Structure 1
Amino acid sequence: MKMGICDTTFARFNMAGAAMDQIKSQVANIKFVERTVPGVKDLPVASKKLIEEEGCELVMAFGMPGPEDIDKVCAHEASTGLIQAQLMTNTHIIEVFVHEDEGIDDKDLKVLAENRAREHADNVVKMLFKPKKMKREAGTGMREGRENKGAL
């Protein structure tokens, strides 16, 4: 299986590395095809190219938008582009964004980024290889990077 991994130079933590490490610890025989782009707005086309040109069956797209209003607009546009690329290719692109202002401080931001990357990687493993386990988690208030909310 080929999995696309797309990250940015703008990010302040290597979320892609954490995710690949997490996946490798659970699944053998996955080939990662990696691409790095400058920022989040570059992720949609890079992800689409990983699917169409490299034959990736799923892509994880990692980004760390900044704290300014313009960064939030760019993140929204990137997210919209990733959704459009998914619909155009009929392939999942798992968006893993951590906004810089989500962290209390740099230490908390680093912990959040690593946890979110690893937990999204766990979700990818479940989606691809353990769909019954993912189905059992429906409606349980799972969160990536922070504490789960729990079911109502």
Structure 2
Amino acid sequence: MKVGVCDTTFARVNMGAAAVDELRRHASVAIERYTVPGVKDLPVAAKILIEERGCDIVMALGMPGGKEKDRLCAHEASQGLIQCQLMTNHHIIEVFVHEDEAKDDKELAWLAEQRAREHAENTVKLILRPDALIKEAGTGQRQGFEDAGPARH
């Protein structure tokens, strides 16, 4: 099993390093890392990791800014990642942290690392232990901040 991790230089936190560290903590898998400039470069990076570097699944990590144009770029990148999944029949776990999700740099750094780590754990579950995800269905899981929990009747 080989996991691709693509991240960006635009991010203000080394989310790729956190993801790689967490992947190594939870599974013995080969890891291929590919760093690109920004979030709109992630779709082709993910496609290269799958088609040319033999990855079975990819994590795409990015940190769009907090302005409206950044949200638009993130949306475009998300659309590209979805298209890449459909073209390759491989999961690409999108891990974006928008700068305006946090109140300050300390919280932003914590959130980026936490979200990267929790999605790395989900990546391992998806490829090696899918039954673990079935058990979590409908439980309101959130990556980064506190889980929402299930809705009650």
Give the corresponding residue for 1:14: 14
Once the 2 structures are TM-superposed, how far is the Cα of residue 67 of structure 1 from its aligned partner?
A: 0.8
Give the corresponding residue for 1:91: 90
Give the corresponding residue for 1:137: 136
Once the 2 structures are TM-superposed, how far is the Cα of residue 80 of structure 1 from its aligned partner?
A: 0.3
TM-score by length of 1: 0.97
Q: How many residues in Structure 1 have an aligned counterpart in Structure 2?
A: 151
Q: Secondary structure at the match of 2:26?
A: coil
Which runs of at least 4 in structure 1 moved beyond 2 Å after TM superposition? none
List gaps (5 residues or longer) in structure 1. none
Cα distance between partner residues in 1 of 2:9 and 2:50: 21
Give the corresponding residue for 2:150: 151
Indicate the percent of aligned positions where both proteins have the same amino acid. 62
Q: Deviations over 1:17-63 (max 9, x none)?
A: 111111111111x1111111110000001110110111100000000
Q: Deviations over 1:66-114 (max 9, x none)?
A: 0111100000000000000000000001000000000110000011001
RMSD of aligned C-alpha atoms? Answer: 0.7
Cα distance between partner residues in 2 of 1:131 and 1:62: 22
Kept after mapping to 1: 8 A contact 2:18/2:117: yes
Give the corresponding residue for 2:52: 53
TM-score by length of 2: 0.97
Matches within 5 A, 1:86-125: 86-125=85-124
Whichever residue aligns with residue 13 of structure 1, its letter is: V
